Amino acid sequence: GGNLSLCSSFKLSTVFSHHHPLSFFFLLYQADFVKIAHPDFAFREAAEETCRNIGTMVEKLNTNIELCQSLKQLLANKEVMDSLDPETRQVAELFMFDFEISGIHLDEEKRKRAVDLNVKILDLCNQFLIGAHLPNKIDKQILPEHIRYNFAVEGNYIQITGLHADCSDDLVREAAYKIFLYPNAEQLRCLEELLTSRNHLAQLVGYNTFAHRALQGTMARTPEKVMQFLETLSDRLFQRTLKDFEMMEGMKMKLNPQNSKLMPWDHPYYSGVLRAERYNIEPSLYCPFFSLGACMEGLNFLFNQLLGISLYAEQTEKGELWCEDVRKLAVVHENEGLLGYIYCDFYQRADKPHQDCHFTIRGGRLRKDGEYQLPVVVLMLSLPHSTRSSPTLLTPGMMENLFHEMGHAMHSMLGRTRYQHVTGTRCPTDFAEVPSILMEYFASDYRVVNQFARHFQTGQFSWFILLPLSLLVFYAVLDQLYHGEHPLKRSTTEILKETQEKFYGLPYVPNTAWQLRFSHLVGYGAKYYSYLMSRAIASMVWKQCFVQNPFDRAMGERYRREMLAHGGGKEPMLMVQGMLQKSPSVEDFVNALVSDLDQDFETFFMDSE
């Protein structure tokens, strides 16, 4: 297998030895990564096929009766269970749970149907993702001449590849919105079939709805709890959103008196303008640039202060890297030595996914010989290349993404779980984003930024609410409704229209179908709310533990011990309790998110001298 050259630095003999039942985890991680990252199309295609085969095999194993029976006997044996450590018990229960949501308790014919449905869903997901990113084409005569240069022209057609949300020309944003979101019948059918198949699967294995199945094992636990969280948040945001809309409408009035009604394509753009005005940020200061080298130094300094960890550049072997500009970092603790490796694949290249992401190539676990298998991860960003005259420069948004992805990497590096099944970021979705979002708070604190960006004058960096909260709430509610009771009472577009009016407040635009571009429905089906919940927890941890001193070593150690060390091997609520020393309620979550908007944190405004 050509793709194994990626890991020539790991002893393949140990990974693929016959007594190693988890070696296909390693293969799956790798294939999952190669199918996205490899510069060569043939590799990507082969890896995609591998993923599909492994996915099918895993589904078959998840409906393997003998495996399940022996696990059941173990779980039923109180004596043995009591002798196990908490993580092993948790993992045993998680495996049982995987069997159950795959339909192990069904008769053979239904089990086979469950496996087939899973494979069908996998294919629909891939198809939906491709459709969600496909550009829309339009005859170029239709667009006014003076805005055509904003888009890619192909012969007589104009290609619209996105929403152009940050363009200052209202007409460009409007055109992009109406054309990019124009419904595509094929994609609509794909979405409907995906939602129906997910619902079939959930009901087949004994759940009311797909949301009930997806939320088992998360912090929120039930769809009812998720809706309670979203509705409470929506109510709290309502007045504030109206005020914001009024201010934005005023701004639009100034800029575009003929057409001053605030529309969905205006909101993200004007909320940026509004922020800049509200905090009096000069655009030139609003968008300073940070060199990549300085940002890495800053991360190194921060991890050193908080956790006693340093990042070192490591030499690589021939054939180890899939692209020559990838850098390998060793993560080293001052007393414990090497903790793991991070491959940094940071630069733009053709065919690279748009999404910044974090891949586990090898999970950490305790080996038979008592040694710890060190985790290996890849971080992917799409930063511009450096030139002869200037280093790679990051905008505040890129810097925040770098910190965000580094948060995931540290979660992987510091997890010390016995089992690969719960290594690092393999934990419930609504907890998985906590370590990464917490890093965004560090990235937007001037005391941290000043460590590596000396030329920095402003104190306030409220960049991080890139999408307005009310928009995130609307998306999260939509996701819950799509995965709730079936058959759906109305079409997906009618549900979108109703939800948009109720939870978002800007009018639905006829002949658009935003849901067909909602690619997160694939990876986060029924779990889109997770981002908001993770942000709420990260916000509480930041305010309670780090806002006084973002370099507090004792807090860093507590954070490692309580939150990062367990991966998915401990109930997430227990980790949050350990960190905050109380168990937060829905109200606490909502208060944390809302108080971030008020952001009277002195720290942001204190003079940065």
The reply to whether 557 belongs to the active site is no
CA distance 234 to 232: 5
CA distance 445 to 455: 15
CA distance 220 to 537: 12
Contact between residue 187 and residue 492 where contact means Cβ atoms under 8 Å apart: no
459-468 exposure pattern, b = at least 16 Cβ within 10 A, e = fewer = bbbebbbeeb
* 272-273-277-282 Cα dihedral, nearest 10 degrees: 90
Closest CA to 551 of 419, 449, 482: 449
220-226 CB contacts, 8 Å cutoff, 24+ apart: 220/430, 220/529, 220/533, 223/480, 223/483, 223/484, 223/526, 225/586, 226/476, 226/480, 226/529
Question: Residue with structure tokens 């970021």?
Answer: 425
Phi then psi dihedrals of residue 94, to 5 deg: -65, -40
CA distance 74 to 158: 62
Per the document, the length of the chain is 609
Question: Residue with structure tokens 């609410």?
Answer: 465
Please state whether the peptide bond connecting residue 572 to the residue before it is cis, i.e. omega within 30 degrees of 0: no
CA distance 175 to 4: 46
Contact between residue 335 and residue 322 where contact means Cβ atoms under 8 Å apart: no
Out of 87, 405, 433, 562, the active site residue is 405
Residues 6+ apart with CB under 8 A from 40: none
CA distance 345 to 332: 20
Residues 6+ apart with CB under 8 A from 390: none
Contact between residue 159 and residue 489 where contact means Cβ atoms under 8 Å apart: no
143-151 CB contacts, 8 Å cutoff, 24+ apart: 143/175, 144/171, 147/171, 147/172, 147/175, 150/176, 151/176
Which pair of structure tokens corresponds to residue 376? 């290996």
Residue 263's alpha-carbon distances to 248, 253, 267, in angstroms, are 10, 12, 7
Strand residues in 36-139 grouped as ranges (E): 136-139
Which pair of structure tokens corresponds to residue 86? 């908490």
CA distance 93 to 75: 8
Question: Residue with structure tokens 């293969």?
Answer: 27
194-225 exposure pattern, b = at least 16 Cβ within 10 A, e = fewer = bbebbbbbbeebebebbbbbbbebbbbeebeb
Amino acid letter for position 501: E
**Active-site residues: which are they?**
405
